[in-house]
Structure 1
Amino acid sequence: MTNELPAQDGAGDGVRPGDRVLDAGALRALAHPLRVRIYDILSQYGAQTASSLAERLGESSGSTSYHLRALAKHELIVEVDGRGSGRERWWERPVGGVSFANPEAIKTPSGRAATQIVMNEFFRLRQEQLMAFVDRGLGGEDPSWQEGTMISTATARLTPEQSKELTRKIMALIDDAVDKHRDQDGDDVRPVTIRADVFPLPGLEG
């Protein structure tokens, strides 16, 4: 699965050219709920320090610093060049797609367990964010943002090849938007999570 993280944020099953496929060691390093949350914040909001993460997560800076070092050991995150001091280090997630779909890793019980922890936490956070947005939409999210969002479910009858073609087209649109606006800044700019799910349903007998 890609932490699409596909082209910085999201999730899917294909591995595209340039995606980093996490090895078993990196998956195990990430397989902690707090580390997934830290990784997600760096993906969505950009560079952070141990102190800023601690404030956002309600943890101690010692705890977030420990988890940052564990992620950095496997190059899941890197220190920001030329920013911060010896006491206040800034960390960021490298640009590019990351895939959890490592066939070798899931051949072992520990690899499967690590992959499951990461995926479960990743999707739990995405669902939390979706429901929080729905609640804000009912109670006061800016109308201009409501008009620029989409929460939609559809069903189509496709062959495997048609499904592959559909996912390629969707990811091309997402990649284009991410690449074009990756470093955009301004008064009206906010992080926007882009979620695309395409998967087969079980048969009626399933």
Structure 2
Amino acid sequence: MTNEIPLPTTREQRVLDGGALRALAHPLRVEIYDLISQYGPQTASTLAAMTGESSGATSYHLRALAKHDLIREVEGQGTARERWWERPRGGVQIGSPEAVKTPAGRAATQVVLTEFLNRRHQQLMDYVGASLRENGVWDDSAMITTATIHLTAVQAADVVAQLQAVIDGAVDRYKDQRGEGVVPVTVHADVFALPEKGR
């Protein structure tokens, strides 16, 4: 067995530098970025309706995200008063080795990751609550599972690579799919070492 840990993905990923991380390190900016990622192009007005903020606030944060190329204006869509914004294609890596070398980089990384994970957890809890209230069509199509296995770092990296390949394949097949019955679906996979002796 080799000591080399395989890369988890060959998909193009943007590694966020310190400036982009600091620009994203605001709860509303994370929410806006995530909504555009999950639901596609949005305007300041549609984001205001989704977040409960004013369109002036969402417009301000959109410009801050665009300044660091986290989002971009959709070409040929909208007007000067109502601009549409999208996220560039490809993955984003948060918490790069360069970014976490400084206290400011570590703090920004923690804010961004915490906000993303809080959003994912809340979406999961909303789904569970809705599923318990009503027997929906998605119940047989969803998966909420946890497993604990004992692995070396190399084996864990191999599992990550396999999971990432499945996710990448689904993204490649269905990313731009539209039509009746098609809704945004989140895929959330976690592989990480547990603390020793539990906490």
Q: Match for 2:133: what amino acid?
A: G
In structure 2, relative to structure 1, the CA distance for the partners of 1:94 and 1:141 (3 Å cut) is farther
In structure 2, relative to structure 1, the CA distance for the partners of 1:205 and 1:73 (3 Å cut) is closer
Matched, 1:188 2:181: yes
Matched, 1:167 2:168: no
- Using the alignment, how far apart are the partners of 2:71 and 2:184 within structure 1? 19
Matched, 1:89 2:83: yes
Q: Match for 2:25: what amino acid?
A: A
For residue 145 of structure 1, what is the aligned residue in structure 2? 138
For residue 202 of structure 1, what is the aligned residue in structure 2? 195
- Using the alignment, how far apart are the partners of 2:186 and 2:198 within structure 1? 35
Determine which of 74, 85, 92 is the counterpart of 1:80: 74
Q: Deviations over 1:97-117 (max 9, x none)?
A: 100122122111111111110
In structure 2, relative to structure 1, the CA distance for the partners of 1:163 and 1:130 (3 Å cut) is same
Matched, 1:179 2:192: no
Q: Match for 1:178: what amino acid?
A: V
Q: Match for 1:19: what amino acid?
A: Q
TM (norm. structure 2) is 0.93
- Using the alignment, how far apart are the partners of 1:15 and 1:62 within structure 2? 38
Check the 8 A contact 2:72/2:86 in 1, yes or no: yes
- Using the alignment, how far apart are the partners of 1:110 and 1:141 within structure 2? 46
- Using the alignment, how far apart are the partners of 2:135 and 2:42 within structure 1? 26
Matched, 1:108 2:97: no
Query: How much does 1:16 deviate?
Result: 4.8
Pairwise mapping of residues 17-32 of structure 1 onto structure 2 (< 5 A)? 18-32=12-26
Unaligned runs of 5+ in 2: 1-6
Q: Match for 2:98: what amino acid?
A: E
Query: How much does 1:87 deviate?
Result: 0.7
SS at match of 1:188: coil
Q: Deviations over 1:167-196 (max 9, x none)?
A: 101010001101110111111101000000
Check the 8 A contact 2:9/2:161 in 1, yes or no: no
Q: Match for 1:155: what amino acid?
A: T
- Using the alignment, how far apart are the partners of 1:15 and 1:23 within structure 2? 19
- Using the alignment, how far apart are the partners of 1:177 and 1:48 within structure 2? 23
Tell me the matched-pair count.
Answer: 193
Query: How much does 1:14 deviate?
Result: 5.4
Check the 8 A contact 1:167/1:198 in 2, yes or no: yes
Q: Match for 2:101: what amino acid?
A: K
